[in-house]
Amino acid sequence: MKNILFVVFISMIFLFVCCNTTTNKNIIETEISDFVKILDSFQVNGSILIYDNDKNTFYSNDFDWAKNGKLPASTFKIPNSIIAVELGIIENDTTILKWNGEQRKMDIWEKDLSFKDAFRISCVPCYQEIARKIGTIKMKEYLEKFEYKNMIFDSLTIDNFWLEGNSKISQKQQIDFLRKFYFSKFPISDRTIKIVKNIMEIERTENYILSGKTGLSSIEEKYNGWFVGYVETKSNVYFFATNVIPTDGLNVDDFISSRINVTKNALKQMNIMK
């Protein structure tokens, strides 16, 4: 009897490994050279990465770039928000984050903000306070559950590790995280998912819903920009992660707007956004 159970156990492991191997092999990577033209038109270098969920296919102009890690910057506001809502630190999207009256880097941050508005205008001080309330133990616990790897922080850097330091995330990892969140693969409540999806929504039309978050880091005046998220259409969902750097001579304001514009142009070129 023990021998039979052992054989069954080994067979199950073999099937599990085979199934996972097959799944990985079935992922297709297709190079889209026209994405380079879009990047060039906005005077940026980098990679546009789009994932078609139905076709299990990645599209990009530069897969090597898409596999290299960078600071997550404000894209980390997505997992930060999920954890805060799940722990009850933030009640809902209308929760008011009080301004303490201190001067902030941007004027639009110098007022009381709803949680949704703080996410939308990327209020860094708001989310630094949220991270401090979460604390290092819970932050590490949830990031491990999310398989949100390579975040390096302690009690001294809990409120800025996504903006500076050695934390890294790649475009492919961004999309993997977003897919698991979107399809409710994390051990969190449906209520949390609904609230965070709501604050992530950017644009809604008859043909699609665009959701996401930008990010911007600057190390020694070297900028790196993100735009990550997903587009829901009537028949499919597409995930994206764009990471770019400015070319010489591009001013900061144009670079900041390029993150979304580059991505939208690529999504329109692929007839995802119509």
CA dist 242 and 228 (Å) reads 6
**How far, in Å, CA of 47 to CA of 267, rounded?**
13
Distance CA 17, CA 210 (A): 36
The CA-atom distances, in angstroms, between 257 and each of 93, 118, 215, 262 are: 25, 19, 11, 9
Within 10 A of 71 (CB to CB), how many other CB atoms are there? 23
Token pair, residue 207, equals 């043909």
d(CA 123, CA 218): 16
Q: Which residues are tagged catalytic?
A: 74
Q: Which two tokens stand for residue 140?
A: 């590490």
Sheet of 201-204, strands arranged across: 28-31, 57-60, 44-52, 237-246, 222-233, 208-219, 201-204
Phi first, then psi, for residue 134 (nearest 5°) are -65, -45
Helical residues (DSSP H) of 111-185, grouped into ranges: 115-120, 124-145, 171-182
